[in-house]
Structure 1
Amino acid sequence: MAKATIEIISALEKTAKKLEAGASYQWGHMGACNCGNLAQELTKLSKGEIHRYAMQRHGDWAEQILEFCPTSGYPMDLMISKMLDFGFSLTDLQKLETLSDHEILNRMPKDRRDKINKNAKEDVIYYMKTWALKLRDEWVEAHPEIDLEKDLAAIKKEEIIF
């Protein structure tokens, strides 16, 4: 699982907030699905650019993650590399696409967890918020002397040049 860093917490929270505010969501669209929306936040690429890069190879996010090769030169692999550089793992991305990480699911009430749907926008938002909260708790426990809210507020939007 991704380490609890201010940058990862911020990325998850910003992605969830954008989805809540009406950002495009379509599970079958490589640029507007679960990973696609997170990729938009991390890379500053548009959903169309992400989708176009993904269509240069076959498969959905899960399949492309399985075939990930950091030296392939494919734009999708370069984008996945940027997400990994940010601190996410391939497993994080696979489980985000299917909303299946048991550490995150176990933080949800059983009745909500049992009904989670990998292609429902509301469930993606809830999953990302739960994940961010889990990481917040871990971060605060590891850094009790630091004000997390102050540090999150100080994060500047840095453009990642792709």
Structure 2
Amino acid sequence: MATPNPHLISSIRKTIQKLKNGSPYQWGHMGACNCGNLAQELTNLNKGEIHQLAMQGVGDWSEQLRDYCPTSGYPMDSMITKLLESGLTLDDLTHLERLSDPKVLAGIPEAHVKQLSKNNRLDVIRYMEVWVKQIENQWIELNTRFDKMHSEKINHTGVLS
């Protein structure tokens, strides 16, 4: 799963809000689909620019993610690199496009999982809400552990001085 960080969490939340507010959504459009909407937020490219980059390659998001090469020099690969630098993984993006991550699906009520459709705006929102909450919880857990370790180190150092 993604490397949790505030920028990624904020970007996913903004994407959710934009989808709720009616931003363009079209699963068959590389810049307005599940990954495309998140890519807009993370890259500051618009849907048309993302679609144009994607059309220079072959296939949908899943196929282009599978063929991703960070040193290819292809514009789509450069954009994917930027998404990965934000904390996402290739698996995260592949799962987002298909709404298929088992960990995320485990957080969605079973009745909804059975009806989940990769090309339905409300299902994408539902999936992203569960996913961002999981990433947020990981962020909180990591920082709580760090704070506790840091506090224990300070207390230990104070005892020895």
With structure 2 as the length reference, what TM-score do the two structures score? 0.87
- Equivalent AA in structure 2 for residue 53 of structure 1: L
Paired residues of 2:84 and 2:90 also in contact (CA < 8 A):
yes
RMSD between aligned alpha carbons?
1.4
Tell me if 1:114 matches 2:114. yes
Paired residues of 2:4 and 2:87 also in contact (CA < 8 A):
no
- State the number of aligned residues: 146
CA–CA distance in structure 1, aligned partners of residues 138 and 87 of structure 2: 15
Q: Which has the higher contact order (CA 8 A, sep 6+)?
A: 1
Q: In the TM superposition, what is the alpha-carbon distance from 1:145 to its structure 2 partner?
A: 8.9
With structure 1 as the length reference, what TM-score do the two structures score? 0.86
Deviation digits for residues 6-62 of structure 1, max 9, x if unmatched? 111111111111110110000000000000001000000010000011111110000
Find the residue that maps to 1:114 and give its secondary structure: helix
Structure 1 residue runs without a partner (length 5+):
147-162
Tell me if 1:20 matches 2:44. no
CA–CA distance in structure 2, aligned partners of residues 54 and 133 of structure 1: 29
Give the 5 Å matches for 1:116-135. 116-135=116-135
Give the 5 Å matches for 1:74-153. 74-144=74-144
- Equivalent AA in structure 1 for residue 133 of structure 2: L
CA–CA distance in structure 2, aligned partners of residues 108 and 29 of structure 1: 26
Give the structure 1 partner of residue 157 of structure 2: none
Larger helix proportion of the pair: 2
Q: In the TM superposition, what is the alpha-carbon distance from 1:65 to its structure 2 partner?
A: 0.5
Larger radius of gyration: 2
CA–CA distance in structure 2, aligned partners of residues 145 and 3 of structure 1: 16
Find the residue that maps to 1:131 and give its secondary structure: helix
CA–CA distance in structure 2, aligned partners of residues 106 and 3 of structure 1: 19
Structure 2 residue runs without a partner (length 5+):
147-161
- Equivalent AA in structure 2 for residue 76 of structure 1: M
CA–CA distance in structure 2, aligned partners of residues 20 and 66 of structure 1: 29
CA–CA distance in structure 1, aligned partners of residues 58 and 138 of structure 2: 37
Name whichever of 4-13 and 99-108 sits farther off: 4-13
